[in-house]
Amino acid sequence: MGDGTGNGSAPEKQVMKGVGRNVAALGVVSFLTDVSSEMIFPILPIFVTTILGAGKELLGLIEGIADSIASLVEIFSGYFSDKMGERKKLVVAGYGLSSLVKVGIMLSTAWWHVLIMRGLERVGKGVRTAPRDAMIASSSESGSRGKAFGLHRAMDTFGAITGLVIAFLLLSVYGSTDSGFRTVFLFALVPAFLSVAALLLLVKEPKKAPLPLKKISFWESLRQMPPGYMAFLKVSLLFSLSYFSFAFFIVRAFDLGVAATSIIELYIIYNIAYAAASIPVGALSDRIGRTPVIGGAFALYGLVCIGFVFASSMLHFALLFIVYGIFVAADESVNKAYISDMAKEERRGTAIGAYNTAIGAAYLPASIVAGMVWAVFGAPAAFTLAAVLAFISAIAFARWCK
């Protein structure tokens, strides 16, 4: 089949060697989208709990559903983009839906409004992600795809940091009040709709090789995975029960006296740590193997949760958000590299897609349980339970996954 461009080569117009202009255009789209999203979502938990009056258990429901939906939709979106033989329509639909529902978030006056809008926003993310990543792969040479995805990720992360800075400045001016939060949400609509315009104007449908005539069902493909894959999937599901929404870290810091504007500073610190650690952590797994890095990441998450039990100052939280960023860097990159090492070329899409779907399904109960434990027994109990599950997962990974 070649490398997915139809003729085994990158498009004629390139932004750097082996990387087509489409990759940069999609990077612009992601930059603008993340400017918008990161203006809203770091402060949304505070808005929901302090302005709309929702309890921690309702916050767990909102964020659990949101975290689950994107992964659950992604595998179907990727399949339909293959079946249609074109990606851009689904990418436009996904980004367009995510932008539209941000209007609903701005107008929300009850927690269940945010539940619906947050869920629909994640549907948009799920619809766009797999087809977009397929477009990036098709718009670059096989030997340059790491560089292509790196460029896209860099622009995405830079957009996140930019959005956080803008939100911080706006809250500093308008205050952490109902009108202040809604003003931030209003300004966030501008880059959201600019991203859709950039997508329509700048991104082209890449050429792609014909799809293979032989079709294997999803379940048959999954049954053909090596035994190590299923072992990793089971351990990852166990760990995911500890991996509750990032919103709980934000609310914990806020409840212990960190101001809303400082929450944004912490989120900026987290994003910088995440961006800075991604390449070194991936390279470390190349040198010493995936197993110690993944097992270490599980244990590191447990230590972060314990840290949130005892944290009491801005410095404590800053250090914890840095360590959490390092954990996420490993979780987002090394796990997929581990799966790719095990799965055959023709099964990798199914392997990664099934992993995302399974882990996404676990996010909902993880966040709901954490919210309920927090509401009944307090924050230390919720974080301690997560830490125990994470440590057990690290031991299970060392025992059953090689």
- Size (the chain), residues: 402
CA distances from 299 to 44, 78, 118, 283, 306 (A): 29, 32, 30, 19, 11
Closest CA to 388 of 324, 323, 303, 293: 303
Q: What is the pLDDT of residues 23-38, one digit of tens each?
A: 889 989 999 999 999 8
**All structural domains of the chain:** 13-208 (1.20.1250.20), 221-402 (1.20.1250.20)
pLDDT at 188 over 90: yes
Q: Comparing 34-48, 232-246, 283-297, which segment has the lowest mean pLDDT?
A: 283-297
pLDDT band at 220 (very low <50, low <70, confident <90, very high): low
Q: How is residue 50 annotated by DSSP?
A: I
3-class state of residue 19 by DSSP = strand
Q: What pLDDT score was predicted for residue 2?
A: 39
pLDDT band at 344 (very low <50, low <70, confident <90, very high): low
Q: What is the pLDDT of residues 190-200, one digit of tens each?
A: 999 999 999 99
Angle between helices 314-342 and 227-240 (to 10 degrees): 160
pLDDT higher at 340 or 44: 44
Q: What is the pLDDT of residues 280-292, one digit of tens each?
A: 776 777 778 778 9
Predicted TM-score (pTM) of this structure = 0.69
Q: What pLDDT score was predicted for residue 8?
A: 41
Round to whole Å and give the CA distance between 43 and 48. 9
Round to whole Å and give the CA distance between 165 and 268. 8
Closest CA to 68 of 209, 273, 272, 243: 243
Percent of the chain with pLDDT over 90: 32
